[in-house]
Amino acid sequence: MLDIRGLSKRFGYGKGEVTALHEVSFSIAEGEFFTLLGPSGCGKTTLLRLIAGFTGPSGGSLVLDGKDIAAMPPNQRPVNTVFQSYALFPHMTVGQNVAFALEAQGRPRSEIDPAVDKMLTLVQLLHLKNRKSSELSGGQQQRVALARALVAKPRILLLDEPLSALDMKLRKDMQIELKRLQRETGLTFIFVTHDQEEALTMSDRIAVMSGGHVQQIATPRELYDRPANRFVAGFIGESNFLSAKASAGVVEVGEGRVALADAPDGPVTLMIRPEHVVLSANAPDALELQATVAQLVFFGTDTHVHLVLADGTRLVARVQNALHGGQSLNEGERITISLPAKALRVVRDEEVAA
Amino acid sequence: MTGADTLRRWALALPAVVVITLFSILPLGVVLVYSFLTPGDFGNVKWIFSTDGWFSVLFERNIFDDTIAISDANIGILVRSIVLSLITTLITVIFGLPTAWFIATRPVAQRNFWMFLITIPFWTNLLVRTIAVQEMIRSDGVFNRILLGLGIIHEPIQMMFSNFAVLLGMTYVFLPLMVLPVYAAIEKFDFRLAEASYDLYASRLFTLRRVILPLIRPGVIAGSILVFVPSLGAYVTPRIMGGGKSMMLGNLIDLQFGQGRNWPLGAALSITLTVLVLLALIWYTRLTSGRKERNHG
Amino acid sequence: MAKRSFDVTRLPGTAVLAVACFVILYIPMAILVAYSFNSGKVIGNWEGLSLKWYGSAIHNQAFLDAAINSLILAVTASVVSTVFATMAALATTRTEKFRGEGAIHIILNQPLMVPEIVLAIALVIIIGQIKQMTGYNGLGFLIAAHTTFCIPFAYLPIRARLEGMDLSLETAAADLYAGRFYTFRRVTLPLLAPAILSGFMLAFVVSLDDLVMSDFLKSPGQDTLPTYLMGELRRNLTSEIYAISSLLLLLSVLIVAGSWVATRKKD
Ligand SMILES: Nc1ncnc2c1ncn2[C@@H]1O[C@H](COP(=O)(O)OP(=O)(O)OP(=O)(O)O)[C@@H](O)[C@H]1O
Ligand SMILES: [Mg+2]
């Protein structure tokens, strides 16, 4: 339904020119929960503002339901936003805030009132309808912002880090709530966050961004299992990186070697998740390496084992804590570890900002 | 706080309190007293109680047959003062609000320059500025010279000494007083709220009416009071621009103490003017403190 | 550049009205200044460029006397009112409420609530009596009157600043064994200085600006710049009026520019 083609955005001019987005392209399907994930300053808000119409693109096209909307002012786009600051109208009640879009569209009162009540019921705030919006808690404001943006049934709902101002507990609740709302309404959500966990748990698909580029677009599972490049691997979950040499489908790290069909010849970077590192020698079809246990960090359910390889490369392994002690490692101990070929990924370097 | 501390603080404030009491509050009390006395023969008063001063604010007694009639002259001036002040306030809003908006939406680096342009007239002598507008509409002033020069008119238009002239003069001299508080309010306005409004399908006009104006209202009200109060009590500008033809209350008061030789009437008019100003100020305080209560309560 | 994008800060028509506003504000002043360089005697009747009327002004003893009176008045009234206002502001801030605090605040703002013409008339009545009784005719009456209406103008910025000031600084100084006066001199006063300066400037300009009060209270020979100008306006309309007006305009430009430079440096 939404097709973004080669969309770029530059701010300023001459020496002060900043490119916030580099020819970003992707499509979003009807009813999808689509997340933009990336570190601060990577251009998430800029992309959202382009879709909402608060700024115009420097190039590229923005096609919604077959129509180019790049030049359409925001008040004509069937797209609504939940602002990071909520931007609730402080001089209006909760009910007036929610009714705003319908009033602006000139809908009749007989249509507005039931729609507002229905929306407030959906976000469980009907009892606060006549409260001033400045007299609400953070979580309540969040819900009002949501109801206000949903009431006019937008084709796409844009959410710019809507949960970042909430505390941990409320945030978890709202994550579930948001997901429920999205399922119930069947609306398309574009959700911005810099919290990878939030992105992984909520999204149908995620676009990982950095430096104004989209690094990878995939389902959460795919992103975690098959990160397209070193940036994505590092940003999503924890990862270990190893420098290796590959030739004819065999990779070599120090004394260890293993067959890895998709490795291109030459120097490559390998990635492995901490939970896939095996702290013993007898794993079949694995890269076996000597390592020193540098530090053990207890985390309750599991222990992080910090390892140093012969060449100085640092790795982290995560082992579940068994009920009765289990294997006992000591700091300073030298052990053999194995990295199963199944868990090893060859990662490219990421596209960087020009 | 201890008694000694309270005393120390009173002592610190005393010089200012004494000066104002002696030279502002006390004289005002004397004016109030004078309004209940009998006019002297050559100005001043006779110490005989009388309500004639107050009576003649609104009425006049025919000296031949003692009939009582509404004083058209005084009421005319009273009404003119209020109406011209209201219109002045309205015109300054019409020009001041867009100007404040314009300045507040310039890049930060440019705003100082524009504010500088507003502050200069604000700090310039009122008389000088009144002389400057007068030059524009005098019978051989700029406008008439231009119109005559272009052959549009053949005789100068008499613009001075009219309600129009007073209105023009007051608008000109009080305009900066409107821009300053409205600018301060718009500068505090969160433009993300305007974004939210446009995002929710509002037009420019709808956004202005429903989001922007309600939120910058305190600034507009403050500006209105800052323009209305000195307009109502204006003396210099109406004297130069309106002359004897288009007098305001301030000029009428002056007249009673001067040529009119009716000090009690002048005193009663002075108290009337002061009360009108106080009413405006009370209305303003009500309006602003009422809002605060609603915000907290 | 791509298509013009939507600008939320734009309101159609505001730019036009704003430009109109600046034009309205500046055209009359510009014309006044232009005519001050007129060589003709009749105001507004252009006869050629000349500095003649500036020359005539600075050799005009009445004008010079008025300027000196204005200066004496403005300096005395603004200094005295600023000192008194500072003391009063110190008395009514940084403390829990005390008996009479509200009364002090209202008294200090009282001159602002009364139209200038009313205050002037009120003072004429009283001062007229005193003049008759004592025979004193000096500038003292004008100084007292100007000080009175200058006090609230000095008081407001100083009090606002004190209210916004961090009390803990004074407490910290007291904690470090500083005495009351030492704390005031080394901590409070330096922090307050910009507000005192702006209070002083406001009082100075307000005194310089005053026409009504001076016109009603002055004894013969006590013309200030505005009253002199007003008299000339009535008596003889010559181009000299515009030269003097332009000089006053220049003075306010200098004052505004000066205060901007002063506050900019502080930031
Ligand atoms: N109005 C602007 N003028 C100039 N540069 C801008 C403007 N808005 C954004 N930028 C720049 O564009 C880049 C992307 O900004 P953007 O706000 O989109 O980041 P973000 O991903 O939303 O970051 P965050 O997580 O901190 O909100 C940044 O380098 C920023 O400095
Ligand atoms: Mg952002």
Query: What are chain C's domains?
Result: 11-50 (no CATH), 61-263 (1.10.3720.10)
- Are A83 and B210 in contact (CB < 8 Å)? no
Please say whether the beta carbons of A230 and A350 come within 8 A: yes
- With 0-12 / 13-18 / 19 or more C-beta atoms within 10 angstroms meaning exposed / middle / buried, residue C147 is buried
Share of chain A above pLDDT 70, in %: 97
Query: What 3 state SS string does B117-134 have?
Result: HHHHHHHCCHHHHHHHHH
Test mutation, A55, A68, A69, A79, chain C, max C CBs within 10 A:
A55
Residue B93 vs residues B164, B179, B232: alpha-carbon distances, Å:
18, 8, 16
Q: Ligand 2 center to residue A30 CA distance, Å?
A: 24
Percent of chain A whose predicted confidence (pLDDT) is above 90: 53
* Joined tokens for residue C218: 């002055």
Of ligand 1's listed atoms, the one at least distance from the Cα of A12 is 4
| Residue C110, φ and ψ in degrees, nearest 5 | -55, -45
CATH superfamily of B79-296: MetI-like (1.10.3720.10)
Residue C16 has pLDDT above 90, yes or no: yes
Instruction: Summarize pLDDT for A306-315 with one digit per residue, the tens.
Output: 999 888 889 9
Token pair 């609530």 is found at C113
**pLDDT band at residue A299 under the 50/70/90 scheme:** confident
- Give the residue whose CA is nearest to atom 18 of ligand 1: A43
Count residue pairs from B and C with Cβ separation < 8 A: 254
- Report the nearest atom of ligand 1 relative to the CA of A46: 18
- The minimum CA-CA distance between A62 and chain C, rounded to whole Å, is 13
Closest to C255 (Cα-Cα) out of B119, B293, A272, A134: B119
User: Average of pLDDT values for C110-132?
Assistant: 92
Write the DSSP symbol of residue B179. Answer: H
- The confidence score (pLDDT) of residue B42 equals 78
Q: What's residue A350's pLDDT?
A: 66
Please tell me the number of the ligand nearest to residue A42's CA. Answer: 1
Give the Cα separation of B164 and B185 in Å (integer). Answer: 31
- By alpha-carbon position, which residue is closest to atom 27 of ligand 1? A40
For the stretch A226-265, pLDDT in tens is 898 889 998 888 899 988 888 888 888 888 888 888 888 8
CB atoms within 10 A of CB A201: 13
- Angstrom distance (rounded) from CA C134 to CA C153: 31
* Bigger pLDDT: C188 vs C226: C226
Write the pLDDT tens digit of every residue in B186-229. Answer: 999 999 999 999 999 999 999 999 999 999 999 999 999 999 99
pLDDT above 90 covers a percentage of chain B that reads: 70
Confidence of residue B269 (pLDDT cuts 50, 70, 90): very high
Count of CB contacts below 8 A, A vs C?
18
B-chain residues near C126 (CB < 8 A): 26-27, 30
Q: Using the Cα atoms of residue B51, residue B57, residue B61 and residue B67 in order, give the sign of their dihedral.
A: negative
d(C-alpha B251, C-alpha B234), whole Å: 8
Cβ neighbors of B264 (< 8 A, separation 6 or more) are B34, B35, B36, B37, B38, B39, B45, B50, B52, B53
Overall average pLDDT of the B65-79 stretch: 86
Going by pLDDT thresholds of 50, 70 and 90, the confidence category of residue B295 is very low
Which neighbouring-strand residues pair with A78? none
Give the pLDDT band (50/70/90) at residue C29: very high
Give the gap in angstroms from C-alpha B12 to the nearest C-alpha of chain C: 5
Residue C266 has pLDDT above 70, yes or no: no
Contact of A215 with A233, CB cutoff 8 Å: no
Tell me the average pLDDT of chain A. 89
Please judge whether C22 and B5 are an interchain contact, meaning their C-beta atoms are less than 8 angstroms apart: no
Check pLDDT > 70 for residue A326.
Answer: no
Distance from C-alpha of C179 to C-alpha of C198, rounded to nearest angstrom: 28
pLDDT digits 0-9 by tens, C46-81: 888 888 899 999 999 999 999 999 999 999 999 999
C113–B179: do the CB atoms touch at under 8 Å? no
- Within 10 A of A304 (CB to CB), how many other CB atoms are there? 15
pLDDT higher than 90, residue A199: yes
How much is the average pLDDT of A262-283? 86
- The per-residue pLDDT for range B219-244, each reduced to its tens digit, is 999 999 999 999 999 999 999 999 88
In Å, how far is C14's CA from the nearest CA of chain A? 20
Where residue B162 falls among pLDDT bands split at 50, 70, 90? Answer: very high
